[in-house]
Amino acid sequence: MVLTKAGSILGPIATVLGYIMDILFRFTGMFGIFNVALCIILFTIVMKMLMLPLTIKQQKTTKLMAVINPEVQAIQRKYKGKTDTASQQKQNVEIQAVYDKYGTSMTSGCLPMLIQLPILFALYRVIYNIPAYVPSVRVYFDNVVTPLMQQPDYVSKIQGITNVVSALGGTALDRYDFASANKLVDMLYKFTTAQWSELEALFPSISGIIAENASVIEQMNTFLGLNMAEAPGWAPSFAWIIPILSAVTQWLSTKLMSGRQKTSDEDNPMAQSMRTMNITMPIFSAFICVTLPCGIGIYWIATSVVTILQQLVINSYMDKVDIDEMVKKNVEKANKKRAKKGLPPAKITQNATTSLKTLKEEEEKEKAAEEAKKERIAKQVEESNKFYNTNAKPGSIAAKAAMVQKYNEAHEKKK
């Protein structure tokens, strides 16, 4: 994959994000710091702050769902095993009534995520693709590309550089367009120190220009001794610290977030799949970080660390959120929408925490009644056995049944 700009809907979003990163790069440059990794970290902090309102909204929805889900699950248990159309329709109507009662909808938790997803995908394009989106970084590559393309036979000479195919991301040389400045920047962005030295030797007339800009580019791309444009690879090295930290920090962030979500139904398939994802996703991120440029790994690590710090603050804030007041505001907003459609207003539910407590009490009563029923049946069986064994009259059906029972018991003992 080459580092040209992405098309489709991600293109405009990635372009805007690229300008934000360019501002950060210029800001750090005011202090004499030209480093892509530092800009990625600052970029992550800025983006997390910009998306904070959506994050809080999603957390509020999660807290409200902790109250709604037990009621929904009670309805689902009520219609369990009933697959006819009429029962399914009644179930859907009752579940919708629960959501209306709390002034929310079944898709409310998805909306913040749907808004964030295009932004997140565009972020990956910018991080993976920095020279294409950050003009302040691109200028140093253009300083090399412009005079380089003016050199005679520059294409055949570049093709002779050691491991140039890997620098192109595996693209075949005969299909690679060296006449495109953008594609040439893509290639140079992945150059190692040795490859820059080879490039200087191949073009001695502009070696000074190459060396000057290569020095700045390597300074920009190097963080903790790692090249942000290179992947750690499968060979054990210090670069493995990137995938390891990515997995650990992501696990801690998901643990912190999932720890706030109370699971009312341990047998819920959705809850089980979420627990599985909380384990597999950090492992998957480590695997991916081995094959992607270190810059992506730095972004994931920074995202997880900022998420952890942000979540600690959000958790403290969410503890103070009055869920009953939140329900009241939700219903008021929903009623305004209903009024525009000519529908009657929905009634505000009773105290949400009291409603949840009442529901739990009803579930406990049902369990207690079920246990009492089991004990009553067991007692009846015990009394029946006792009657057959002790109170049966000679020659009666009960006596004959007792004889059969004793014979069976004796026969079982012989086995």
* pLDDT exceeds 90 at position 213: yes
pLDDT value for 356: 47
* pLDDT exceeds 70 at position 268: no
pLDDT value for 341: 66
Structural contact between residues 38 and 82, judged by C-beta atoms closer than 8 angstroms: no
Structural contact between residues 67 and 356, judged by C-beta atoms closer than 8 angstroms: yes
DSSP β-bridge partners for residue 222: 227
CA distance 172 to 398: 92
pLDDT value for 235: 78
Give the whole-number percent of the chain exceeding pLDDT 90. Answer: 9
Most confident of 191-195, 259-263, 303-307, 361-365: 303-307
Q: How many angstroms separate the most distant Cα atoms in the chain? A: 122
CA nearest neighbour of 45 among 69, 63, 20: 20
Across 235-253, average pLDDT: 88
pLDDT value for 74: 83
Structure tokens at 319: 């503890």
Structure tokens at 186: 């893509």
CA distance 132 to 3: 7
CB 130: neighbour CB atoms within 10 A?
27
CA distance 286 to 308: 18
CA atoms within 13 A on the CB side of 23: 9
**Is 0.75 topped by the overall pTM?**
no
Query: How does pLDDT run across 355-398, given as a tens digit for each residue?
Result: 545 545 555 666 677 777 777 777 765 665 565 555 555 555 55
